[in-house]
Amino acid sequence: MLLCKARLVGLQLLISCCWAFACHSTESSPDFTLPGDYLLAGLFPLHSGCLQVRHRPEVTLCDRSCSFNEHGYHLFQAMRLGVEEINNSTALLPNITLGYQLYDVCSDSANVYATLRVLSLPGQHHIELQGDLLHYSPTVLAVIGPDSTNRAATTAALLSPFLVPMISYAASSETLSVKRQYPSFLRTIPNDKYQVETMVLLLQKFGWTWISLVGSSDDYGQLGVQALENQATGQGICIAFKDIMPFSAQVGDERMQCLMRHLAQAGATVVVVFSSRQLARVFFESVVLTNLTGKVWVASEAWALSRHITGVPGIQRIGMVLGVAIQKRTVPRLKAFEEAYARADKEAPWPCHKGSWCSSNQLCRECQAFMAHTMPKLKAFSMSSAYNAYRAVYAVAHGLHQLLGCASGACSRGRVYPWQLLEQIHKVHFLLHKDTVAFNDNGDPLSSYNIIAWDWNGPKWTFTVLGSSTWSPVQLNINETKIQWHGKDNQVPKSVCSSDCLEGHQRVVTGFHHCCFECVPCGAGTFLNKSDLYRCQPCGKEEWAPEGSQTCFPRTVVFLALHEHTSWVLLAANTLLLLLLLGTAGLFAWHLDTPVVRSAGGRLCFLMLGSLAAGSGSLYGFFGEPTRPACLLRQALFALGFTIFLSCLTVRSFQLIIIFKFSTKVPTFYHAWVQNHGAGLFVMISSVAQLLICLTWLVVWTPLPTREYQRFPHLVMLECTETNSLGFILAFLYNGLLSISAFACSYLGKDLPENYNEAKCVTFSLLFNFVSWIAFFTTASVYDGKYLPAANMMAGLSSLSSGFGGYFLPKCYVILYRPDLNSTEHFQASIQDYTRRCGST
């Protein structure tokens, strides 16, 4: 309550000062007042303000020559027409007469003074201090206007403590919808919140991400620019340049020249101008003067359809103008009403009597001098704005209609407080010339915007409606076929800092703005994530991507599958070897007592054939998807089987050397070897050593199935880990040592009897074994792909085949095809021949 009283004291002082310092001998026009049962106030800019230095707080006199505002005049007449229609209506407020008091608010001081007069008590010149503001009855019940956001905010702040309804026809700032500050404010023009969202959608639709932003220094421009910057940057649009034109800006002054230079240097094709009409004209006169062309200018609703702007000389050369405009509406009888006013005889202005309020700015001499041929032309922009003032009057009338209970056909007459009318205005919902008039909780209208483009036919200006914007949520509907772009081949102009990157290229920001970037291809194994600011992100473990990819692809899982041709060939070869080993075992068992089988080792041959068969069986573990049993057995079983075969081969060769060369020379060693079963002991010890190596390998460096991801970016290699372990190397080196031992023993027996001389075949088989494994390790050093297990298997198969072919195949040939050589006589003859050769040497 103390705050309200303090504000009221301030208001009293203010109105007293204004009256004291502004009392001039001025006149008032009868067109500005109309008596009635209930009065409305209208605040309209019939004249333009002027900058001047004042040394005391006096009210500006608006009625000056060369300052007439045609746009404000149409608003003024729209309210007068609306009140006249309502008073002549038998359906709306029957038996009630509305009156008005209209004021010319050409300046802030005139606007404040008019607002204070509205709040004064009827027939008095002051505002009374009252404890209960709900029962305060000012001169008028509601206020229509004023025009700009600055003046509307001032008026709304003064009227709010008294809850006097105020409906603005042009103040669109979002801040005015804050009911805690402006509880009695409503409007018939859309909220700038929706205008800003519409502009952002317009920029997004055409891909304009690099823009310049210019605003006027009033609340409308500054708040609009701030809101647009916040929303645009939130949607990925960058502001290349932003500036606010000062209220004192003039064409050609240093401030405007600097602004033009920065606009040209910013490099943005699209410039959004969120400005009042007055400063927008100064701006575009400067644009024409600077010859700043080739741009796309996005207009706010304040000047999008204003003749004040389209009348700038040379403006048709500046480029393309798109704009957001309030929907085109028509006040049906306004033109005829203005014509009738121009033709009518006007009463002479009333003089300012001594003791009356002066400087009320209720005078327009130029208006009174209009003739039918000199009256201002009613253009589209002024008509739409006039309609907003017109429907504001009807909104008040409908609210009063409900408050007075006029639905019964007769209105009750009684005292009405402003707050009561405010409640009813919020509830109105009616059709006015097929247009729905209603307000939301914030006092904003249920309306929409048009999206327009300027058109020029020589010097003649017009505009095209491209589409509309509706809410909420805000949606943009544009017919692009109607747009005639100024560029080559009717192409949409580009306004970007950096062109879009090719597919699979990430943006690397090069400056302060994220819209300015270089394009760098995403590396292999990464993809372009458009949802994360176009950054390259690594693919998942089971995925891959080539360089410059927008997506990841599943990796191909590869292993030596059974259905492949290579697998079938190796499988057939290994099976054939296994069958040959089994057949040879049967053949040797059938001819076990023959000299060939006995000289080959007798029953020891079955151990050798069995070890080769075990090695052959282990090779089946290389086919198909690796499993734990296959990984554990395939290399270890092969190594152990081949060790047994090599041990037998070594001891067999060594034993022949002992018999033929050392039995007579070193009889003691020979007898010890025979008596202690040296051959069997050597095979057992050698095999057990390899068995221990293999067991250690399986326990310490356990071969396991693994998924290998590093070698090929697009493949997952299913393999065993055995070749990467020390156990495998030890087992292989041990077999290499045995191979060398067998080769040495076979070479030492190269001069033995022919039937016992196996040096050539064994040497060949062991050399083939060495070559096979050398070839495998050479291949493994340069190739580690899918068929490496096949190469491993081929090396093992070659080793087994060379061992079998070098040792057993010649003996099988003798048994099957040369039975004459498989006799005791032939062997004895061979031994005797060896004995003679040894004796002769």
Kindly list the domain boundaries of the chain, sorted by start residue.
27-49+61-190+331-344+358-438, 192-326+448-482, 505-554, 565-832
**CATH of region 565-832:** 1.20.1070.10
Residue 818: CB atoms within 10 A of its CB come to 11
Residue for token pair 């390998």: 697
- The predicted pLDDT at position 432 comes to 94
The CA distance from 399 to 93, in Å, is 10
What whole-number distance in Å separates Cα of residue 619 and Cα of residue 794?
9
Distance of CA 648 to the CA centre of its chain: 73
For residue 146, whether the previous peptide bond is cis, meaning omega lies within 30 degrees of 0, is yes
pLDDT at 358: 47
Contacts of 536 (CB under 8 A, 6+ apart): 506, 522, 523, 526, 527, 528, 529
Among 533, 540, 509, 534, residue whose Cα is nearest residue 522 = 534
Mean pLDDT by 10-residue block, N- to C-terminus, for the chain (841 residues)?
44 44 57 93 88 72 84 94 95 94 92 91 77 85 92 94 95 92 95 94 95 94 95 94 93 93 94 94 95 94 91 92 92 92 75 52 85 84 93 97 91 92 96 93 91 90 93 90 86 91 85 88 84 79 87 89 87 92 90 81 86 91 88 89 88 69 61 70 89 91 88 87 81 89 73 58 82 89 86 91 85 83 66 59 54
27-49+61-190+331-344+358-438 and 565-832 have identical folds: no
Q: What is the DSSP string of 330-344?
A: --TTHHHHHHHHHHS
Q: Are 559 and 553 in contact (CB under 8 A)?
A: no
Do the strands 38-44 and 98-104 form a parallel or antiparallel pair, or are they unpaired?
A: parallel
Give phi and psi for 40, each to the nearest 5.
-115, 155
Strand pairing category for 435-438 and 429-432: antiparallel
Other C-beta atoms within 10 Å of 223: how many? 20
Amino acid occupying residue 168:
S
Cα–Cα distances in Å, from 612 out to 182, 509, 578, 643?
100, 67, 8, 10
DSSP 393-452: HHHHHHHHHHHTTGGGSS-------HHHHHHHHHH-EEEETTEEEEB-TTS-BS--EEEE
Q: Which residues of 575-604 are buried (b: 16+ CB within 10 A; e: fewer)?
A: eebbebbeebbebbeebeebbbbebbbeeb
Look at residues 595, 516, 536, 484 and name the one whose alpha carbon lies nearest to residue 266: 516
Name the residue among 509, 559, 667, 15 with its Cα closest to residue 659.
667
* DSSP three-state, residue 789: helix
Phi, psi angle pair for 153, to nearest 5°? -65, -40
- Decide if 99 contacts 411 (C-beta within 8 A): no
Model pLDDT, residue 319: 92
Q: Which residues contact 239 (CB under 8 A, 6 or more apart)?
A: 211, 212, 213, 229, 232, 233, 513
CB 418 within 8 A of CB 184: yes
Q: Residues with Cβ < 8 Å from 618, sequence gap 6 or more?
A: 633, 634, 635, 636, 637, 638, 641, 796
Residue 824: other Cβ atoms inside 10 A? 10
Taking alpha carbons only, the member of 287, 290, 282 closest to residue 308 is 282
Give the type of residue at 678: G
Contacts of 7 (CB under 8 A, 6+ apart): 161
CATH, domain range 192-326+448-482: 3.40.50.2300
> Which pLDDT does position 665 carry in this prediction?
60
Amino acid at 336: A
Cα–Cα distance between 522 and 537 in angstroms, integer?
A: 8
Residue 733 CB partners (closer than 8 Å, separation 6+): none
- The whole-angstrom separation of Cα 156 and Cα 146 is 10
> DSSP for 790-808?
HHHHHHHHHHHHHHHHHHT
- Confidence (pTM): 0.69
Hey, how many other C-beta atoms are within 10 angstroms of the C-beta on 308? 18
For domain 27-49+61-190+331-344+358-438, is the CATH number 3.65.10.10?
no
Distance CA 228, CA 178 (A): 19
For residue 18, report the phi and psi dihedrals to the nearest 5 degrees: -60, -40
Cα diameter, the chain = 168
In angstroms, the Cα distances linking 486 to 320, 455, 703 are 6, 11, 73
Name the phi and psi angles at 562, rounded to 5.
Answer: -70, -25
Instruction: Classify strands 435-438 and 185-187 as parallel, antiparallel or unpaired.
Output: unpaired
What is the rounded distance in angstroms from the CA atom of residue 773 to the CA atom of residue 495? 67
Locate 475 and state its tokens.
Answer: 């949606």
What is the total residue count of the chain? 841
User: By the 8 A CB rule, do 805 and 577 touch?
Assistant: no
| Dist CA 96 CA 607 (whole Å) | 128
Instruction: Give residue 275's pLDDT.
Output: 95
Strand partners, 460: 457
Burial of 88 (0-12, 13-18, 19+ CB in 10 A): exposed
* Six token digits for residue 287: 């644009």
Other CB atoms within 10 Å distance of the CB of residue 390: 31
| Amino acid (one-letter) located at 28 | S
For tokens 């001081």, what's the residue?
Answer: 109
Burial class for 732, CB neighbours closer than 10 Å (0-12, 13-18, 19+): middle
Single-letter amino acid code for the residue at 49 = G
Pair of tokens at residue 636: 């270890």
